[in-house]
Amino acid sequence: MSLRLADGLAGALPGSRLITDPDVLAGVGRDQAQWAPAGVALAALRARSGEEVSRAVAACAELGIPVVPRGAGTGLSGGANAVDGCLVLDLSKMDSIVEIDVENMLAVVQPGVVNNALKAAVAEHGLWYPPDPASAPWSTIGGNVSTNAGGLCCLKYGVTRDYVLGLEAVVGGPGGAYGTRLRLGRRTTKGVAGYDLTGLFVGSEGTLGVITEVTLRLRPARPEAPRTVVGAFGGLAGAGRAVAELTSCGLVPAALELLDRVCLEAVEDWRHLGIGASAEAMLLASVDTPGAAGDEEAEAVRAVFLRSGADWAELSGDPVEAEALFEARRLAYPALERLGPVITEDLCVPRSEVPEMLARIEEIGRRHGVRIATIAHAGDGNLHPLLLVPPGDDTARTAAEAAFEDLLTAAIGLRGTVTGEHGVGLLKRRGMQRELPLGVRAMQRAVKQALDPLDLFNPGKVTGDDPGL
Amino acid sequence: MSLRLADGLAGALPGSRLITDPDVLAGVGRDQAQWAPAGVALAALRARSGEEVSRAVAACAELGIPVVPRGAGTGLSGGANAVDGCLVLDLSKMDSIVEIDVENMLAVVQPGVVNNALKAAVAEHGLWYPPDPASAPWSTIGGNVSTNAGGLCCLKYGVTRDYVLGLEAVVGGPGGAYGTRLRLGRRTTKGVAGYDLTGLFVGSEGTLGVITEVTLRLRPARPEAPRTVVGAFGGLAGAGRAVAELTSCGLVPAALELLDRVCLEAVEDWRHLGIGASAEAMLLASVDTPGAAGDEEAEAVRAVFLRSGADWAELSGDPVEAEALFEARRLAYPALERLGPVITEDLCVPRSEVPEMLARIEEIGRRHGVRIATIAHAGDGNLHPLLLVPPGDDTARTAAEAAFEDLLTAAIGLRGTVTGEHGVGLLKRRGMQRELPLGVRAMQRAVKQALDPLDLFNPGKVTGDDPGL
């Protein structure tokens, strides 16, 4: 049956090269969510154009083959994982920057453009694309848009959603026959002509259609290198207090990151950046307000660190040193992955609850005997406790799974959310079901059914598999 | 028939006082879009609580009575206008500020809270709610959210949508029986648990449900009063060039407003603010970057004004003077309304097209013999040409209607939109139908049908009355 379907698909797409090699399919059939299940794809296609995506979607609709779009596969929730018998639509080769409109500070890009590649290209024109997930060297704009990726500088500059003005997407259902290419949104800075379908597609994880082009708002380049403030704390509690205190003082650094001792040691062991891994917790703040006001702001941040119990706190204007510190932050996840399977949480709580959430993370780790490393976009209240499991240890894995659920419950109890920026995918579906009332999930499902009546686009993700519906 | 319905409604809402006086109904049955049609409401209800809204919506669903929500009625597109036989649900008395959470920089408010009242309340805690439509002294947060209102400072600080974290809404359909109160969104700064239904409700003009509470993100108070730069130009072309030039220099003032001579004279004749009404066009920029960097930025703005052909350009740090200038901007619309019926455009074009759009406005006014006054959030490319018609002059009105359509066509031709911040309502429906492809309109309609299967909420607005669907 599936061979016949694959032949049918190949026949319907004469100019396209379908991948059917099982090893390759297994590789493109999952993202980096190590514990999320992945199905077996029927085939994969590395699309080269919106036109090719359109033909592939039309053929899949005709043949009843689900479509699972993917970018670089750096996702952490299983959102890009294959479902059985699907076509994996790999968009990473659609990596052209179509236009950089300097006068209007916007860029039009294909979905496969890598985040850092876009940053570099617009920087040549004195412009800046702020969203900076830690995966920025590898992850694609299409994936960033589909998960509404956050990053380090969202505290001051917002998330991906704040930069998406418009999209081209291949849709089906009310928008036209499956395979129809439609332009949503606009090129203007403002616009309210009808419902915000662009915003609805951002973060929808490929479940409403396939994004084939993105129009992004840009900012002027930062006038100067940011100042960095580092604080070393003897415990997570003090670092948590500093985060809450900064917010209540009205201090909004461009970034405010937290790394605990496990993270610091893992990075230091791997890369020897000389960041000093002896603190129990480190806070990194980046202040980019220009001129003397920025100096004052950085000094105020340092004072809050000290007042909240930092063992030491230093201010650095040296871009090399600052880059090493933030590099350590970006490397924390891969450094920990080297030690064994990692399961990543993506909790977000009100900022005032950061100290309490950090305490509960420690308590839950202790109670389940699970080693937890925590990195956090602390200023956003967005915490990534990383559960570390020795390879092949099933007991440890079971304990980690129990801890995972308790962490979700704790975040919901503090009026937080189970996913701040990674998306629901497969891993956070149960958590989302606990977080959101049934009526809200039913509204989400109704939107999905209205816009994708065949359930062709990335079925089972986000609103899928909800026993309440 | 309608009497029986009104009795039925009164019977179903024993604790509520229904308004049925025809004069009062006529008053609450329309907003400030002078040329938009308005139907005759069956009754109106000044709701006092979410619970009362819930009961009213349930009763209306039972009896088949459309629900038209309204705030202060300052809308400019007819979005709050009654449809025949509806219940007007006036939310202006639900005006409590439920919570100001200083630690997390957010506020929870009922929909009837007036924008400026919220600003004043949070200012006491050293916080700031930036969105500032010119109607801020009167318009409500519920109305601001429902139209995704913009304002003067969106250039740097974004629109209403950027500040809405969550909502409580009374919905029907998949969310539960009509009258169900649901909480959408979150209290955290970030969150991607499912589709962005909050964002979908923002700007939906009451067509998806009735908003009964809003959770808003706040910012720290501005550290100091902004500097103001005023430039007087001998023609609109030079002012337009200055706007485009500022953007391409990467200068982003907090506000960049344009007033033409007709506006300046109307304000001066009415209020005698002494702003000097002799220029053909005036640009007002507000620069709030702190410290010396802000001084440099203001000076750079002044230099661009002069380079683009300003007759003169002055920098002022005097808050009283600055307030008078921006007061003139806010008074432009009521000042022009004093002269006779005004029809308001709300075009938004890419900023580089502002000079061309200004030229076309002049040309269209000349060609149709229509007097057009233009105020603009120029930095956003958001232009409000106001078509002035002598009272009772039907020929002039016909000419103005033709000019209105030509202006929409011109904006669409420059890759702009027919509404930047006022909403579609009734007045911009035809324009939206010309701007958006049929498939996109069909997707919007599908979303509306999925979330409001009875078409109970504000029927006919936004996606209503589309001959293509």
pLDDT in the model for residue A35: 85
Work out the average pLDDT over A305-328: 87
Task: Give kind and range of the element (H or E) at residue A435.
Answer: helix A429-435
Minimal Cβ distance to B351: which of A104, A420, A439: A104
Residues B104 and B216 grouped into a single domain: yes
Which of B163, B190, B198, B432 to mutate: most A Cβ within 10 Å? B190
CATH code of residue B318: 3.30.70.2190
- As a whole number of angstroms, the distance between CA A133 and CA A110 comes to 18
Residues B199 and B135 grouped into a single domain: yes
Q: Is B98 near chain A, with CB under 8 Å?
A: no
Helix, coil or strand: residue A154: helix
Angle at A341 between CA A338 and CA A346, to 5 degrees: 100
Q: Where are the alpha helices (DSSP H) in B202-235?
A: none
Indicate the range of A323-332, A410-419, B300-309 predicted with least confidence. A323-332
Could B252 and A420 be called an inter-chain contact, meaning their C-beta atoms sit closer than 8 Å? no
Contact A189, B381 (CB under 8 A): yes
Q: How, if at all, do strands A227-233 and B180-185 pair?
A: unpaired
Work out the average pLDDT over A319-337: 84
Minimal Cβ distance to A195: which of B186, B189, B200: B200
Question: How does residue B277 score in pLDDT terms, banded at 50, 70 and 90?
Answer: low
Residues A234 and A275 grouped into a single domain: yes
How many separate domains does chain A show? 4
Work out the average pLDDT over A270-282: 79
Q: Residue A243: which region, alpha, beta or left (left: phi > 0; alpha: psi -120 to 50)?
A: alpha
Residues B108 and B49 grouped into a single domain: no
Question: How does residue B2 score in pLDDT terms, banded at 50, 70 and 90?
Answer: confident
What are the Cα distances from residue A123, in Å, to A110, A130, A266, A296, A340?
18, 11, 32, 27, 37
User: Is residue B362 pLDDT above 60, yes or no?
Assistant: yes
Residues B79 and B166 grouped into a single domain: no
CA of B282 to nearest chain A CA: how many angstroms apart?
A: 22
Task: Give kind and range of the element (H or E) at residue A397.
Answer: helix A394-413
Q: Is B392 near chain A, with CB under 8 Å?
A: no
Work out the average pLDDT over A344-368: 96
Could B439 and A126 be called an inter-chain contact, meaning their C-beta atoms sit closer than 8 Å? no
Tokens of A119: 């940053």
pLDDT digits (tens, 9 = 90+) for B186-218: 999 999 999 999 999 999 999 999 999 999 999
Return residues 224-253 of B near A (CB < 8 Å). 244, 247-248, 250-252
Inside any domain, residue A466: no
Amino acid at B441: R
pLDDT digits (tens, 9 = 90+) for B244-267: 899 888 899 999 999 999 999 998
Residues A350 and A318 grouped into a single domain: no
In the predicted model, what is the mean pLDDT of chain B? 94
pLDDT digits (tens, 9 = 90+) for B108-159: 999 999 999 999 999 999 999 999 999 999 999 999 999 999 998 888 999 9
Where in the sequence is the domain holding A175, given as residue range(s)? Answer: 97-220
The last residue of a domain, from among B90, B112, B128: B90
User: Is residue B328 pLDDT above 90, yes or no?
Assistant: no
Inside any domain, residue B404: yes
CATH code of residue A388: 3.30.70.2740
The last residue of a domain, from among B191, B220, B249: B220
Q: Label residues B410-422 b or e (16+ Cβ within 10 Å = b).
A: bbbebebbbbbbb
**φ/ψ of residue B388, rounded to 5:** -105, 130
What are the Cα distances from residue A283, in Å, to A235, A269, A304, A305?
11, 19, 11, 8
Closest CA to B218 of B317, B298, B118, B290: B118
User: Is residue B182 pLDDT above 70, yes or no?
Assistant: yes
- A contacts of B419 (beta carbons < 8 Å): 191-193
- B contacts of A421 (beta carbons < 8 Å): 190, 192
CATH code of residue B41: 3.30.43.10
Percent of chain A with pLDDT over 90: 81
Inside any domain, residue A461: no
Inside any domain, residue A326: yes
- As a whole number of angstroms, the distance between CA A257 and CA A284 comes to 5
Minimal Cβ distance to B420: which of A101, A182, A192: A192
pLDDT in the model for residue B20: 96
Return residues 34-93 of A near B (CB < 8 Å). none
Which of B241, B252, B443 to mutate: most A Cβ within 10 Å? B443
Q: Is the dihedral of CA A352, B120, B167, A202 positive or negative?
A: negative
Inside any domain, residue A13: yes
pLDDT digits (tens, 9 = 90+) for A395-438: 999 999 999 999 999 999 999 999 999 999 999 999 999 999 99
pLDDT in the model for residue A297: 93
Number of helices (H) and strands (E), helices first, in chain A? 15, 19
Residues A102 and A199 grouped into a single domain: yes
Amino acid at B352: S
Inside any domain, residue B467: no
pLDDT digits (tens, 9 = 90+) for B443-465: 999 999 999 999 999 999 999 88
Percent of chain B with pLDDT over 70: 99
pLDDT digits (tens, 9 = 90+) for A50-95: 999 999 999 999 999 999 999 999 999 999 999 999 999 999 999 9
pLDDT in the model for residue B437: 96
Could B189 and A381 be called an inter-chain contact, meaning their C-beta atoms sit closer than 8 Å? yes
Closest CA to A232 of A253, A255, A260, A269: A260
Percent of chain B with pLDDT over 90: 81
Residues B312 and B369 grouped into a single domain: no
- Strand boundaries in A323-463, DSSP class E: 342-344, 347-348, 371-377, 382-388
CATH code of residue A129: 3.30.465.10
Residues B399 and B425 grouped into a single domain: yes
Tokens of B65: 């009575």
Inside any domain, residue A303: yes
Question: How does residue B341 score in pLDDT terms, banded at 50, 70 and 90?
Answer: confident
Helix, coil or strand: residue A114: strand
Residues in chain A: 469
Q: How, if at all, do strands A227-233 and A347-348 pair?
A: unpaired
- Strand boundaries in B243-328, DSSP class E: 255-260, 281-287, 310-316
Could A435 and B193 be called an inter-chain contact, meaning their C-beta atoms sit closer than 8 Å? yes
pLDDT in the model for residue B1: 53
- As a whole number of angstroms, the distance between CA A178 and CA A181 comes to 9
- B contacts of A418 (beta carbons < 8 Å): 193
The last residue of a domain, from among B335, B357, B374: B335
Per-residue DSSP letters for A411-426? HHHTT-BSBSSS--TT
pLDDT in the model for residue A1: 53
Residues B313 and B419 grouped into a single domain: no
Which of B157, B192, B299, B452 to mutate: most A Cβ within 10 Å? B192
Task: Give kind and range of the element (H or E) at residue A41.
Answer: none
Residues A51 and A161 grouped into a single domain: no
Q: Is B198 near chain A, with CB under 8 Å?
A: no
Contact A147, A123 (CB under 8 A): no
pLDDT digits (tens, 9 = 90+) for A141-163: 999 999 999 998 888 999 999 99
Inside any domain, residue A462: no
Residues in chain B: 469
Percent of chain A with pLDDT over 70: 99
Residues B213 and B248 grouped into a single domain: no
Interface predicted TM-score (ipTM) of this complex, two decimals:
0.96
Minimal Cβ distance to A190: which of B173, B247, B348: B348
- As a whole number of angstroms, the distance between CA A178 and CA A4 comes to 21
Helix, coil or strand: residue A272: coil
Return residues 401-460 of B near A (CB < 8 Å). 415-424, 428, 431-432, 435-437, 439-451
Could A440 and B183 be called an inter-chain contact, meaning their C-beta atoms sit closer than 8 Å? yes
Q: Is A468 near chain B, with CB under 8 Å?
A: no
Tokens of B66: 């459309």
pLDDT in the model for residue A248: 80
pLDDT in the model for residue B276: 64
